[in-house]
Structures are given as structure tokens and as C-alpha cells.
Structure 1
Amino acid sequence: MALIALAADKGAPGVTTAAVALGAVWPRPVLVAECDQAGGDLVYRLPADPATSDGSTMLNPSRGLLSLAATARRGLRPDQIAEHCQRLVGGLDVLVGITSAEQAQGMTWLWAPLARAFRGLGGAGGVDVLADCGRLGAGSPLNELLREADMVVLLTRATLEQVAHLRERVTALTGELRGGPPLGVVVLADPRDFRASIAEVDRVLTGTRQRLEARGGVPTAPVSVLGGLALDPKGAELLSGQWGGRLDRTLLVRSAREVAATLLTRVDSVPAGAEPMPAEGRF
């Protein structure tokens, strides 16, 4: 079982949507944990399963990372995490994050024990964790969680400014997480030039590394471009329950299946014959 941290640099483009889309098609038991220090928005976006929330379709903002932090002050065991999780319509389990950046100021101590508890969810019949870490900054307290991850996945769009920010973040993380997990990149790409956008980001990152090495500069860690998620507004709306339709037919979910399969081959071996769960199995 694996802990995968999803993050971005400036603007945190689409990290939450990516985490939920991947969780919806993940082939093994999975928990989406909202760890964004700026405050999450799952409680505003996604409906709760009324069968598991006393008939309510609203996620409870007080049950999640905030309540878990109160428990963790007395020590945190992996088996305590489930008490603070909620289930979305369709069956995806989520750990709702804080709702404001102010709440994060007193929780910087939490990330290391939380990461260890996430890793403790593994083992036979365990749970993978997709941690939505939002936007990363220099020397972020979330680095304590990132160090424990099996892979850190950075999201970017294929624009000049976002790829420039991505290169800077890769360089920074190489130093801050020295000896830590491998870094991967997922490109949020327009379906009209989907493959070309992914290839361009790969070319830029590879070229930057080669130039640094040729000049004798400090090399960045090898970064794998894992694929892309389609920029699909209708798919994102359907994922959040805003209108009806076949989620499994959306470009967002179809591309999420490819990324999920790639991630699993990188961080763990997939049981023979296993394929990502059809989207209608969870949403």
C-alpha cells in the first residue's frame, strides 16, 4: 500500500479535482486526505453519502483533520484515522481538511505523525492514501509529510509561467527532501493538444536537467512525467455531483485511469488482472 502526495506550486491548479478523480478510479481501497494548509474545499464541493452521515448530504467540516488533530495530541495510531473520515456519494472515503489557513498555524506539528499513521494503514488488506497537499511553498511544514510519501506528484499546466514555477519547485524539493521520495509530474492538459502538452513539459524538464549537469551545476532529482489529466470542466462538475450523466465516459475520468495505472506501477506492484475500478463503482 502507498502514500502518494499530490501538490503544485503557484496556484495549486486542480490538485483537489485530481485527487478526487484518481480516488474515484483507484483499483484498491483508498483514502483521499485533504492536507492543504491554505484550507480545503471538499465540504463545499462534494456530497456526503446520506447512508453514512445520518441522512445528511453535507460533509461535516468539524469531522476530519481538525478533529483528528485533537486526538493526535495524545498520540496517533493508524486505526484512529477511520473515526474522522467521511464517505462521499459513490463510496469514496475522504479525510476532510481544515477550512481556513488560520487553523493550520497551530497544526505544524501534525504532519509527521499523520504521515506515519497514513503509512501504518498499509499491510495486507490495507489502504492507499492520496494526500491533497495543495500549494507548496519554500520550507513548507508539509515537507514532513512529503518525506514519508512513496511518491510526490506535482501538477502543472503546460504554460510558460507554470512550467517555470514547476522547475523552481523541483529544484527546491530536491534540496529540502534530499534522499526522500521520487518526484513525478502530471500535466493538466487541454484535450485538443493533450499528448503534445505532456511531451512539451517532459522536454523542458529533461532539457533543464541536462543543461545544469553540463554546466556543473547542482543537479535536480530525476523527475518522471507520469502522464496527464484532461482539463474537462464538465467532467469536474459531474465528479462533484452538479449534474447527471456517465462519469466514466468523461475525458477527466478516462485520463485519470491512465494516471492511476501508471502511479501504481511506479509505487507498488498491482495484483495480476487488476484494473482501475469503473467510475460508476464509486460515483
Structure 2
Amino acid sequence: MAIFTLMSPGGSPGVTTTGLAVTHAWDRRALLAECDPKGGSVLQGFLAGRTDGLKGGLLELALAIAHDPDASVLWEYVISLDQEVRRWLLLPGLRDPRHVVQIESAWDAVIDVIKSAAGEDTDVVIDIGQIGRPDTPLRLIAASQLAVMVLRPTLRQVADARPRLDALGRYVGTSVPVTLCLIGAGDYAPVEVSQALYGLPVIATMPFEPRLAAVLSDGRPAPRAARMAHLLNGAQRLAASMRKAANEPHKAVAS
């Protein structure tokens, strides 16, 4: 198994939607873990509030393993997004961001349980949302094989990303490869974004299609299959690039 983290510089570039799309497009079983301290959104968005007997999510998992660190308990708090197939899985995030104070000391235990329970046949994509806040779970990034910054190629997003990547580089050093995924078109070409952000590689671009993304972000009805394929094909390319980048030599984020 491998662990990947998705993050953003803020400004809602669509990191959770990207996470849903990329785990759906993964070439084997994949678990999306919502670990954004500001709270999860998939239950209320993509699933439109349907819990179907879900026992809980991230907070409930953290409380359970505090009493019994049995890794198999993870699956009691995971929901299948593709019903009986169980290749597209979700660990729902916090329902109330005020609960982050209860989990800040549990990140190490959560990642240990995920590593132990996922085994060899499941890869994990962790959505940590916006980085740079005091409650950013940097330990989750440090435990991953690849970190991907999801952003729009705009001046605002690039300017916001630079200090956050700088701080991340001081934390992870050369231990974790950090890469970029661009959403849609903007002020800069991919090579220009890379040059502005410490030479980090742009491993993929995703289409900026709000109506298509709303299928994943808000549970809206899916459009014609040909249109939806545009988003999912981008997700497949991102998934393949993530797996490849995790196994290649990489440069550190340098200030």
C-alpha cells in the first residue's frame, strides 16, 4: 500500500472533489480519508446526507483506537462509495470543526491504524484541505509517499502556495516528494507555476468544470457520460502520475 496526501493553498481549488475523482479512478482499491481539520464534506455533498448505517467517521475512529488500538476497527468507520464492489472507500471527516481539538493528539495513532489495516491491496489518499493553518496535520504529510498541492494557476493561488510550501519543506525536508496538480487554466502556464514554486513538478492538470465537479462535490445529477468522462479521464491521468511520482527521485521544497 501507499499513502498520498492532497492539499491546497486555500481559495477552494477543489481538493476534496479532486480526491473523490482520483480515488474513483484508482487502478485498485483506494480509500479516501477526509482529514481536513475544518471538517469533512463528502457525506453532505456527494452522498447528500445518506449515511446508510455508517457507524461514524474520523473522530469516532480516533476515540475507538484510544481505547483499543486494534487496526481492524478502521473498517467499522469506512463507507463504500460503490456499494458492494468496495473498491472506492471513504473515511468521513469531522462533522464539526470544533472537534479538531479532540483529534490533534491522535493523528499518529490514526495513521498507524490506516497503515496496518489497509494492507498491501489498498492505497490511501488523504485529503487534508488547506495547509498553513496552526491545526494542519503535517504529520500525515510526513507519513505519506507523495504530497500533491492542488491549485489554480492564478497569481493569487501561486502567491498563497509559496509560503505554505516553504513551511512544509522545512518540516518534511527531503523525506516526502511534493508535486503540483493544476486545476483549469489561469494566469500562468504549468512551467511558469513550477518555476515560481521552487521548481516542483506539475504532474497533472485537471479540467475546471464546475458543473461536472458538482456531481462529486454536491451530489448533483450526472450529465451525459461523454461529458463526465472528461473529468474522469483527467482523474485517471492524475492517479497514474501520482503513482509514478511516488517512485521517482525528487527534489526538496527549498526556500
TM-score calculated relative to the size of structure 1: 0.77
Query: Paired residue for 1:11?
Result: 11
2:64 aligns with one of 49, 65, 71: 71
Q: Label 1:24 to 1:264 Cα distance change in 2 as closer, same or farther (>3 A).
A: same
Query: Paired residue for 2:182?
Result: 187
Supply the RMSD in Å over aligned alpha carbons: 2.6
- What letter corresponds to residue 257 of structure 1 in structure 2? Q
- Give the whole-Å Cα distance in 1 for the aligned partners of 2:201 and 2:29: 25
- What letter corresponds to residue 236 of structure 1 in structure 2? A
Query: Paired residue for 1:243?
Result: 221
- Give the whole-Å Cα distance in 1 for the aligned partners of 2:180 and 2:162: 11
2:127 aligns with one of 117, 127, 132: 132
Q: Label 1:36 to 1:202 Cα distance change in 2 as closer, same or farther (>3 A).
A: same
Q: Label 1:35 to 1:139 Cα distance change in 2 as closer, same or farther (>3 A).
A: same
Offset, 1:138: 4.9
Q: Secondary structure at the match of 2:173?
A: coil
More off after superposition, 26-35 vs 134-143: 134-143
Give the 5 Å matches for 1:16-95. Answer: 16-47=16-47, 57-58=50-51, 63-89=56-82, 91=86, 92-95=88-91
Whether the 8 Å CA contact 1:10–1:165 is kept in 2: the answer is yes
Offset, 1:179: 4.0
Query: Paired residue for 1:202?
Result: 194
Whether the 8 Å CA contact 1:235–1:253 is kept in 2: the answer is no
Give me the identity figure in percent: 25
- What letter corresponds to residue 256 of structure 1 in structure 2? A
Whether the 8 Å CA contact 2:180–2:201 is kept in 1: the answer is yes
Give structure 1 stretches of 5+ with no counterpart. Answer: 49-55, 210-221, 270-283
Query: Paired residue for 1:107?
Result: 103
Size of the aligned set, in residue pairs, is 243
Q: Secondary structure at the match of 1:43?
A: coil
Query: Paired residue for 1:117?
Result: 113
Query: Paired residue for 1:261?
Result: 240
1:175 aligns with one of 147, 170, 176: 170
- 1:237-276 Cα offsets, whole Å, 9 max, x none, are 233541133277432211111111111112259xxxxxxx
- Give the whole-Å Cα distance in 2 for the aligned partners of 1:27 and 1:136: 28
Give structure 2 stretches of 5+ with no counterpart. Answer: 249-255
- What letter corresponds to residue 3 of structure 2 in structure 1? L
- Give the whole-Å Cα distance in 1 for the aligned partners of 2:44 and 2:60: 18
Query: Paired residue for 1:225?
Result: 202
